[in-house]
Amino acid sequence: MAFAVMSKGAIKLEQVAEAFFTCLYVNTGFSSLILLRDGPQGKYIFILAFLGPWISDSFAYFFGRAFGRHKLIPEVSPKKTVEGCVAGILFCALAYMAYALLLEKLGFVELNVVALTVFGLVVSVVSQVGDLSASFIKREYGIKDYGNLFPGHGGVLDRFDSVLPVATILMILIYCYDISKVVA
């Protein structure tokens, strides 16, 4: 803000807001990953920040390709479908449930399966919104990728566009609700 004020109008408020949001988005997301890893049951919870977006995105893609008939938001992402979106949500919830059951069966930790399943629903929605938000930003600026660090895959933000918001929401959910409680 100080540079904007001193620039005598050369730097617009919109530019300051974009810079602030970008820093907040990236720093909060990556910080949340660290807090998840260092938090309660961190070595088991940390993977959920990646598992959710990967499962959600993969199943949304495959089901959308196979069964998609209704476009979700074609102005932002023309290939995404409602059917794919719903499949991503359902399979993410199922994956979180399976993960909790697997950890319990293997004797690593007992997690609240119902809570984790609900978290999977929320995480998938947040993941898809994160992906669509990144697509929206790229369309607004007329770019295809955020960088070329990973050949054929874009930049770091292209790989983490869903993980960053998921990590933040998952961290909030985990710290607000102790999922290590055993459901009797």
Angle formed at CA 86 by CA 82 and CA 87, multiple of 5 degrees:
115
Longest dimension (CA), the chain: 64
Q: What is the pLDDT of residues 94-140, one digit of tens each?
A: 999 999 999 999 999 988 999 999 999 999 999 999 999 888 887 88
pTM of the model: 0.86
CB 49 within 8 A of CB 167: yes
Task: State the angle between helix axes of 48-67 and 82-105 in degrees (0 to 180), rounded to the nearest 10.
Answer: 140
Tokens 């309660």 locate to 40
CB 67 within 8 A of CB 78: no
Mean pLDDT of 15-38: 92
State the pLDDT at residue 106. Answer: 94
State the pLDDT at residue 172. Answer: 93
pLDDT at 173 over 70: yes
Strand partners, 73: 77
Q: What is the pLDDT of residues 82-101, one digit of tens each?
A: 999 999 999 999 999 999 99
**Residues recorded for the chain:** 184
Which has the closest alpha carbon to 119: 63, 60, 70, 56? 56
Lowest mean pLDDT among 79-83, 90-94, 168-172, 179-183: 179-183
pLDDT at 184 over 60: no
Q: What is the mean pLDDT of the chain?
A: 88
CB 134 within 8 A of CB 161: yes
Lowest mean pLDDT among 4-13, 81-90, 127-136, 149-158: 149-158
Cα Rg, the chain, nearest whole Å: 19
pLDDT at 153 over 60: no
CB 29 within 8 A of CB 167: yes
pLDDT at 183 over 80: no
Strands (E), the chain: 71-73, 77-81
